[in-house]
Amino acid sequence: MSGVQADGGPGLKRTGLALAAGLVIVTGLGVAGLALSTRSGAAPAADVQHVDTPVEVIPADFAASVEIEDLMAGFARPRRDSLLGFEASGRVVKITADIGDRVRRGQELARLDTTTLQAQRAAMQARLRQAEAETRLAEVTVGRQKTLWEQGHQSRQRYDEASAEADARRAAEDAVKADIAQIDARLVLAVIRAPFDGVVLARGLDEGAIANPGAMVLELVETGALEAEIGVPEHEAATLQIGATYDFLTEAGEAKAVLRAVTGVVANANRAVTAVFDFVGESQPAMGAVVRLKLPRQLADQGFWTATASLTESARGLWSVYVAQPQADGGHKIEPRLVEILFAETDRSFVRGTIAPGDLIVQTGIARLAPGQWVTPQRRAPSDRSIGPAIAERATGAVAP
């Protein structure tokens, strides 16, 4: 045992020294390699290739102001819309018009049973003939009494009594005539006639039904005379001129209308002033169609147009656009810039903000971009749409027909 320990001691020491020397060499080589790697890697770092995403851009082209064409909606409706009915109750015996029929002014549309009225009128005619006969007799009596009085064969009292009796007979005759006139008026009211040229929109009763006083039998709307009530902001209503012609946009195209009246009162419902227009010319909208008044105005704020799709919502209700900012090595990186929307349309917006003239505004694909991302700008060709007048549809509480 002692021999083994004596022989093994120096061997182990030599082995340990060898291992230690090897570790020192390996460690030194590793440190040297790391240093070389670090030194050799510092130079290629500048040569790292970044992937640039192509994006469509337009340069920010500022304008001192922009022309805006406000569109204010309303409805084209007939100037007159009447619910026709009978003044008195009765049984409906005839209706000569139905839904969709076009009728002329004065045309008979419906009639009540007038048998009872006709009988009453016949009785009144008989009473009139009796009253007329009594009146003639009374007048003859007055003449005779006057002659006798003038000849001294009769007193003035008898003459005055005869005169009074004649007056009473004439009054009775007038009363009967008034009763006949009343019946004639009821006969006229038992017939509904078209008060104007129009088209029947609704029918409330059929033949045989008992019509109550004022109940709707037919609804008639005027044709050929359409109007529109448009709610206009107070400051713009002050610029309207009675009798002037204004342009409207309809589903069928352009139309013209003359301003007939402006109420001058701001309605509580929509905080707008009601203006009434009468459509003129051949290009008239369909009855009940949505129409839009076109009012040009100038937006006196400096800004530039950009695609509405280029706007992204930012913090605290603000908006931003992405700018392709040039870098020192010639590339471009995405930078967000805050903007304020001065006016917005469906496909474009007029904005201002932390943008310099000529900055490249990214127009599409912002959902796949992020700040700091490398991009390759591709300029979009300008179009007529980018320089045309702005169109804004104003919600002013149009009155439904």
| Domain pair 71-79+225-297 / 88-113+192-224, same fold | no
Residue 43 has pLDDT above 70, yes or no: no
Is residue 276 within a helix (H) or strand (E), and if so which, with residue range? Answer: strand 273-280
Residue 41 has pLDDT above 50, yes or no: no
Q: Which CATH class is domain 53-65+301-394?
A: mainly beta
CATH architecture, range 71-79+225-297: Beta Barrel (2.40)
The residue ranking higher by pLDDT, 31 or 184, is: 184
Distance (Å, whole) CA 85 – CA 73: 33
What percent of the chain lies above the pLDDT cut of 70? 82
Residue 29: what pLDDT? Answer: 36
Residue 35: what pLDDT? Answer: 35
Residue 235: what pLDDT? Answer: 86
Q: Which CATH class is domain 88-113+192-224?
A: mainly beta
Residue 13 has pLDDT above 50, yes or no: no
109-156 per-position pLDDT tens digit: 999 999 999 999 999 999 999 999 999 998 888 888 888 888 877 788
Confidence of residue 383 (pLDDT cuts 50, 70, 90): low
Mean pLDDT (whole number) for 256-265: 93
Residue 6 has pLDDT above 60, yes or no: no
Q: How confident is the prediction for the chain on average, in pLDDT?
A: 82
Distance (Å, whole) CA 187 – CA 106: 16
Q: Which residue type sits at 150?
A: E
Q: How far is CA 385 from CA 298, 301, 302, in A?
A: 18, 20, 19
**Of 2-11, 172-181, 274-283, which gets the smallest average pLDDT?**
2-11
Any alpha helices (H) in 56-155, and if so which ranges? Answer: 115-151
The residue ranking higher by pLDDT, 33 or 305, is: 305
Residue 242 has pLDDT above 90, yes or no: yes
Residues in the chain: 401
313-346 per-position pLDDT tens digit: 887 778 999 999 999 988 999 999 999 998 888 8
Q: How far is CA 32 from CA 18, 26, 38, 110, in A?
A: 21, 10, 10, 114
Query: Can you give the residue ranges of every domain in the chain?
Result: 53-65+301-394, 71-79+225-297, 88-113+192-224, 114-189
Confidence of residue 377 (pLDDT cuts 50, 70, 90): very high
The answer to whether the CB of 149 falls within 8 A of the CB of 159 is yes
Residue 39 has pLDDT above 50, yes or no: no
Q: Are strands 210-211 and 90-95 parallel, antiparallel or unpaired?
A: antiparallel
158-211 per-position pLDDT tens digit: 888 888 988 998 999 999 999 999 999 999 999 999 999 999 999 999 999 999
Residue 14: what pLDDT? Answer: 40
The residue ranking higher by pLDDT, 376 or 7, is: 376
49-98 per-position pLDDT tens digit: 567 889 999 999 998 888 888 889 999 999 999 999 999 999 999 999 99
Burial class of residue 197 (count of CB atoms within 10 Å of its CB; 0-12, 13-18, 19+): middle
Residue 36 has pLDDT above 50, yes or no: no
For 151-206, give the DSSP string. Answer: HTSS-HHHHHHHHHHHHHHHHHHHHHHHHHHHHHHHHHHTEEE-SSSEEEEEE---
- Whether the predicted model's global pTM rises above the 0.85 cut: no
